[in-house]
Chain A
Amino acid sequence: MGLKKPDPVRRAGQRLTTVVMLFFGSAFLLLALDPRHAADALTGYILAAGVPLMIWIGSALLPLIFPVDGLMLSLANFLCALGVLVLYDTNPAYARQQVIWYGVGIGAMLICILAVRVLRFGPKTCGILALLGLGFLVLPVLFGKETYGAKNWISVMGMSLQPSEAVKLCLLIICARFMANRRFWPWFLFAAACLGILMLQKDLGTALLYYGVTLLMCFASTGSVFFLFSGLAGGAAAAFAGYRMFAHVKKRVGIWLNPWAVYDTFGYQIVHALMAIASGGLFGVGLGLGNPTAIPVYESDFIFAVICEQFGLIFALCVMMIYVAMIWRGTTTAMAARKGFHGLLAAGATVMIGLQAFVIIGGVIKMIPLTGVTLPFVSYGGTSLVSSMCLVGLIQGVESLNRDNVKEDLRLSYYAEEAGL
């Protein structure tokens, strides 16, 4: 009868969106019925209806208007909604703020998609970005306040902002442009300046991210194993130097090696996180049960421990697999890019998301020493959420250009066939 055969890729997307909507609808409904949230039940019901609706709008409607990648957006939406869910469970006020930042993040993501499609990011633009980036990064050193041993926050109109989260976008763009143009010194000097300023702020977790991303982008652009190993050796040497120079680094390494010896002082946070993960078991203690607020900074750095406690290890593994899926998609996008700049941009954004997730999850489960970075998309924090959405926007921008290139190839092949060639 001429019915169009359903596109299997689109069908897979619709089924994923349905399952995600079902998950969050039932989760928020359960929390709304929680007697602890009886005073705030209306927020729970609104979220039970609103979050699945936002997921549906983002996954089904937005791709019709904007050149977004449905899969990447679905995965990012899942993680953002998971963050809102966990925050609503522990502190509803945080959840409300996180929803607002999520809206801002969607807008920023769309702007990044358009920027990648429209702007060339030539050397002059990158020069301006470099100056702006360094200027932002210096602000906490001059006007910032020290929190948890690092001076990387500034207060603007009552809001706390972390400039290093915004400057990492500048780092990606500048490194991608100058590496694609095979100009060594511009990106090297900018990256070195950023690292120097981060060392002054004592924000060693972000410095580790910047260093790792720059090194891997350099390897992606040159293919030089010598550079890679030299960089790793240099990083190890810098880490050792940091251990000898900074007292709080020594403390963190000591806590990582044996937190039980100082469980009631410095090791309190990691010990409670480990106990929470263990008490969750395979399926968790149940949403709304347990005692997640006993973990210090549960809403930001240790939100993964809260997820393990509430939902269990199986769910936590699934969250890690979601990050793996995002990395896979980002890597595929980078490899399919036709221009070196776009490929490096997508690769850098992918590595940034993956490395950040690995560093914080590794720190929470005591695989590596703890650093002060957030879990992308999930942790409470406006700047972190917006910058993570911007990274996804950069990847989606490159993916949309890849799709345009394939459409162009199809069109050209049609004309070649018409010409009998």
Chain B
Amino acid sequence: MSEAVYEVVAQVMRYWFAVLSLLIVWRSFRWLRRDRRARHRLLRSLPDAGMVGEWVVRSGSKELPEGVAVPVPREGVLGDIRSDDICIPVGGVAHRHLYFDFVPKKGLRIEPAYRQICTVNDSPVTWRSVRKKPVYLHHGDVVRVGDAVLFLRIFMGLEKEYRPAYADDDANAAPPDADAPMSPVQPAIPAQPYVPVQPGMSVQPGTPARQPVFFPPVSPDPVVSEEDALYAAPRVDPSPVPPPDPLYAPVPVDDPSPRRRRRKEAR
């Protein structure tokens, strides 16, 4: 090709390259937008995505009444300001009172902030003591932070597969393909509003503020392994509607030892 011809061809092709470059940019942003929309649609149907459990308030304040369940993310900071991951607007709680993060197979590790203190099952935990020995919270632990008393429920770490015996058709159904492209799913759990216990309201046993998600072990072995004890997954009758577990029933404020009472009832 001669230089003159090449020059003409090159000058014509520059418009072609400009158009293609605009197309590339447009397609890139379109891909970004579609991916973002698909992700948002999916996450809207998974309200508990990223949460490992919840703190149920046993003793709170006017802004945070008793019975409210506050979702717990995988890691974050607990304090009394809105920018914290868990906001506990109760007296005695510092702006950044407590750091927490979930360690699989161990529990929810907590670390009080500098010069802060909290109690776990009536044992004091300070920022100094956790440096020597880390503290891991398990399902059912009660933590006192300032004037707030919080009861921890964990529903993360659900490696056990639950197949109810009543649903023969579904028992052989395979779980969804984990490698399939993400597509919107129907909400798995119907959204339930929080039902905080108001003063004077009669508390019906078996009406928890929020349905917990827990998965019993498949094995019929009554001996509970360390992992199961960690997540306190009780055995449940395979009936269409699992009976309410007294462990999750809201506790009257003046009950001196609610955990002991519930353990007795569960036995």
- A contacts, CB < 8 Å to B: 7-10, 12-13, 15-16, 19-20, 22-23, 26-27, 30, 33-35, 71, 74-75, 78, 182, 223, 282-289, 311-312, 314-315, 318-319, 321-322, 325, 328-329, 332, 336, 338-340, 403, 405-407, 409-421
A residues less than 8 Å from B23 (CB atoms): 19
Task: From B63-71, B144-152, B163-171, give the one contacting chain A.
Answer: B163-171
B13 with A30: CB separation less than 8 A? yes
Which residues in A have their C-beta under 8 angstroms from that of B42?
406, 410
B263 at the interface (CB under 8 A from A): no
User: How many Å from the CB of B106 to the closest CB on chain A?
Assistant: 14
- A413:B241 contact, CB within 8 angstroms: no
How many contacts between A and B, using CB within 8 angstroms?
186
Considering the chains assembled together, what is the distance between the CA atoms of A58 and B247 in angstroms? 53
Partner of A288, one of B10, B27, B158: B10
The answer to whether B31 touches A418, judged by C-beta atoms less than 8 angstroms apart, is no
**A283 and B14 in contact (CB under 8 A), knowing A33-B6, A332-B36, A419-B164?**
yes
Q: Which of B126-184 contact A (CB under 8 A)?
A: 158, 161-164, 167, 170, 175-176, 178-179, 181-183
Most buried by B among A287, A319, A420: A420
- Pairwise interchain contact A9-B7, C-beta atoms closer than 8 A: no
B219 at the interface (CB under 8 A from A): no
Q: Which of A9, A223, A315 has the most CB of B within 10 A?
A: A9
- Seen from chain B, the residues whose Cβ lies within 8 Å of a Cβ on chain A are 1-3, 6-7, 9-11, 13-18, 20-25, 27-32, 34-36, 38-39, 42-43, 45-46, 48-50, 73-75, 83, 99, 101, 158, 161-164, 167, 170, 175-176, 178-179, 181-183, 185, 188-189, 211-213, 215, 240-242
Q: How far is the CA of A191 from the CA of B125 in the complex (A)?
A: 33
Partner of A289, one of B10, B22, B73: B10
20 extra interchain contacts, Cβ-Cβ under 8 A, other than A16-B31, A314-B21, A415-B215? A7-B183, A9-B38, A23-B21, A34-B6, A35-B3, A71-B28, A78-B24, A284-B17, A287-B17, A312-B18, A314-B22, A336-B39, A338-B73, A409-B48, A412-B213, A413-B45, A417-B188, A418-B164, A420-B164, A420-B241
CB-based contact B175/A411 at 8 Å:
yes
A15-B27, A315-B21, A413-B188 in contact; A35/B32 too (CB < 8 A)?
A: no
Minimum C-beta distance from A187 to chain B (A): 17
B189 touches A311 (CB 8 A): no
In whole angstroms, what is the CA distance A417 to B48 when docked?
Answer: 13
Please give the distance in Å from A359's CB to the nearest CB on chain B. 22
Q: How far is the CA of A319 from the CA of B25 in the complex (A)?
A: 8
In the assembled complex, the CB of A311 is this many whole angstroms from the nearest CB of chain B, namely 6
Q: How far is the CA of A78 from the CA of B21 in the complex (A)?
A: 10
Interface centre among B45, B164, B185, B188 (most CB of A within 10 A): B188
Smallest CB–CB gap between B116 and chain A, Å? 13
User: A389: shortest Cβ distance to chain B, in Å?
Assistant: 18
Given contacts A182-B99, A409-B49, is CB(A223)–CB(B181) below 8 Å? Answer: no
A348 to chain B, nearest CB (A): 18
